[in-house]
Amino acid sequence: MLDIKFVRENPEVVDKAVASRNGSWDKERFFELDEARRAVIGEVESLQADRNAKSKLIGQLMREGKKDEAEAAKAEVAANKERISELETKRNELDAALTDLVCRIPNIPDESVPYGKDDTENPEVRRWGTPREFGFDPKAHWDLGPDLNIIDFDRGVKIAGARFYALGGLGARLERALINFMIDCHTSIGFKEWWPPVITNAATLYGTGQLPKFEEDLYHVSPDLYLIPTAEVMLTNLHRDEVLDGSKLPLWYCAFTPCFREEAGSAGRDTRGIIRVHEFDKVEMVKFATPEDSMNQLESMTNEAELVLQKLGLPYRVVTLCTGDIGFGACKTYDVEVWLPSYNNYKEISSCSNCWDFQARRANIKYKDPANFKGTRFVHTLNGSGLAVGRTMAAVLENYQNEDGTVTIPEALVPYMGGVERIEPTEDVTA
């Protein structure tokens, strides 16, 4: 959420930022509410000053024996008190309306973010690895999985519905291996692992920006409880309404969770396979940093996501999201895209973002550092996939497939697979 004072003093900056994201905001309504709120505050302050002065006067009048004048002053004080109460109710209503308006305005992109209308204009930053040249016609993972009897789409749909799938045998083992491998990659370089709940409340989702804007993409389990769309929500809100010790920043957190997204606006996109589904596993990274260090931490986080792919030997590229593609709460984002033969292209597998103080202001997460400044400041929050597990599985199956229909396990994963070096077809997914 943007600072209301910043919006008031820099409407042209907000105009430009929102327009660059192909969006709009109700500037006229903002200033209408803001001016009304400030007028109410001014009237309350004037009435309070008048009340305080009359309260002192009452004592003086009573001492002077001017009872009638004192009673008249008391009546005026009572009327002031009643009016102040009415105005405070009005102010609360205006505060709520103003906050609701501002919390729907997206973050301001960093100056280094390139202007562009959509994902076709995301500039490439770098590549790693070379896509494999097959001596045979490679299969897509949505064919490989059923042929190997490790992914069962039909049974997934039967027991849950469209865009769900079931993993069996070495498919389940591979999913678990990837999760443990990713967590070990992150914890080995200093991330603290968490195991959070997968059900959350509205306040938590508000803190990271999913509510109110993206409510239609969330799964409700009760009026105030939801299934999480990402562990970012939980890891970031661990410190909601807290003041952190600045000397201990940055904090590096990671967690594995299943994630749940209705994705109401994604009909027709990537409907085959396990690329875009309603439930998926993901290992998430979250960082809390000082404003001066947060961009360094974004570069570091992106490198940490890349390291997972490098250890798996999977070709990828990194792109910077342009203004027309960057997420609601992000000020700058790098997407890491893995090579998928089935698309003959790179596909997003991690999105690493710096949100500046956008989430911290919503979640009220501050830090203090007496050595450098007085009081407290909002921290900067960062998040990134480390990685999306299902997409990583798809990339492993497609890039490591063999002509005989088997799949070689990447060397780094063999210990996590209990020594299994190759996936071969079995008779049934339950075998």
**For residue 320, pLDDT beyond 70:** yes
Q: Over range 296-324, report the average pLDDT.
A: 98
Predicted confidence at residue 165, as pLDDT, reads 97
Q: Which is the catalytic residue, given 51, 91, 163, 261?
A: 261
Contact between residue 314 and residue 420 where contact means Cβ atoms under 8 Å apart: no
Catalytic, 391? Answer yes
Q: Is 348 known to be catalytic? A: yes
Task: Express each pLDDT in 23-34 by its tens digit.
Answer: 999 999 999 999
Find the helix or strand (DSSP H, E) in which 144 lies.
Answer: helix 141-147
Concatenated DSSP letters of 315-353:
-EEEEE--TTTS-TT-SEEEEEEEEETTTTEEEEEEEEE
How distant, in Å, are the alpha carbons of 118, 169, 352 from that of 236?
28, 35, 14
Any catalytic annotation for residue 24? no
Residue 429 banded pLDDT, cuts 50, 70, 90: very low
- Say how far residue 400 (Cα) sits from the centre of its chain: 32
Separation CA 122–CA 132 (nearest Å): 24
Name the pLDDT band for 59 (thresholds 50, 70, 90): confident
Question: What is the mean pLDDT of the segment spanning 219-224?
Answer: 94
Q: How far is CA 123 from CA 162, 283, 290, 299, 307, in A?
A: 34, 26, 27, 16, 21
| Beta partners for residue 335, in sequence order | 319, 351
**Contact of 363 with 207, CB cutoff 8 Å:** yes
Least confident of 33-37, 238-242, 334-338, 426-430: 426-430
Split at pLDDT 50, 70, 90, the class of 267 is low
Residue with the two structure tokens 């009415």: 86
- Which position has the higher pLDDT, 396 or 263? 396
**398: Cβ–Cβ under 8 A, 6 or more apart, which residues?**
138, 139, 140, 141, 144, 340, 341, 342
On the question of pLDDT at 264 being above 60, the answer is no
pLDDT tens digits along 245-258:
999 999 999 999 99
Catalytic annotation, pick one of 32, 93, 262, 348: 348
Catalytic residue among 20, 350, 351, 353: 351
Q: Residue 243 corresponds to which amino acid?
A: V
Residue found by looking up tokens 């001596």 in the block: 135
pLDDT tens-digit map of 177-214? 999 999 999 999 999 999 999 999 999 999 999 999 99
CB 286 within 8 A of CB 386: no
Q: Is residue 430's pLDDT more than 70?
A: no
* Buried/exposed code over 63-78 (b: 16+ C-beta within 10 A; e: otherwise): eeeeeeebeebeeebe
Domains of the chain, first to last? 4-102 (1.10.287.40), 119-423 (3.30.930.10)
pLDDT of residue 73: 82
pLDDT band at 10 (very low <50, low <70, confident <90, very high): very high
Only one residue has tokens 């994201």, namely 21
The alpha carbon of residue 194 and the mean position of all alpha carbons in its chain are separated, in whole angstroms, by 17
Torsion, Cα of 243, 247, 248, 251 (10° steps): 80
Q: How confident is the model at residue 269 (pLDDT cuts 50, 70, 90)?
A: low
Q: Which two tokens stand for residue 408?
A: 């070689």
DSSP 114: P
pTM of the shown model? 0.92
Residue whose entry in the numeric block shows the structure tokens 């000397």 = 247
Cα-to-chain-centroid distance, residue 226: 15
Overall residue count recorded for the chain in this entry: 431
Q: Which of 8, 104, 240, 276 is catalytic?
A: 276
pLDDT digits (tens, 9 = 90+) for 61-97: 888 888 888 888 888 888 888 999 999 999 999 999 9
For tokens 């919390």, the residue is: 103
Higher pLDDT, 62 or 152: 152
Q: What is the pLDDT of residues 154-170, one digit of tens each?
A: 999 999 999 999 999 99
- Counting residues of the chain whose pLDDT is more than 90, the rounded percentage is 88
In this prediction, residue 268 carries a pLDDT of 59
Q: Are 109 and 17 in contact (CB under 8 A)?
A: yes
The mean predicted confidence, pLDDT, of the chain is 95
Task: Based on the residue annotation, tell me whether 351 is a catalytic residue of this protein.
Answer: yes
Beta strands 192-194 and 251-260, pairing class: parallel
CA distance 186 to 184: 5
What's the confidence (pLDDT) of residue 231?
Answer: 98
CA atoms within 13 A on the CB side of 302: 25
Q: Of 342, 353, 391, 398, which is the active-site residue?
A: 391
d(CA 255, CA 232) in angstroms, rounded, equals 9
pLDDT surpassing 80 at residue 362: yes
Sheet holding 199-201, edge to edge: 199-201, 225-227, 219-222
In this structure, the strands spanning 279-289 and 251-260 are antiparallel
d(CA 243, CA 368): 7
pLDDT at residue 101 tops 90: yes
pLDDT digits over 275-291, tens only? Answer: 999 999 999 999 999 99
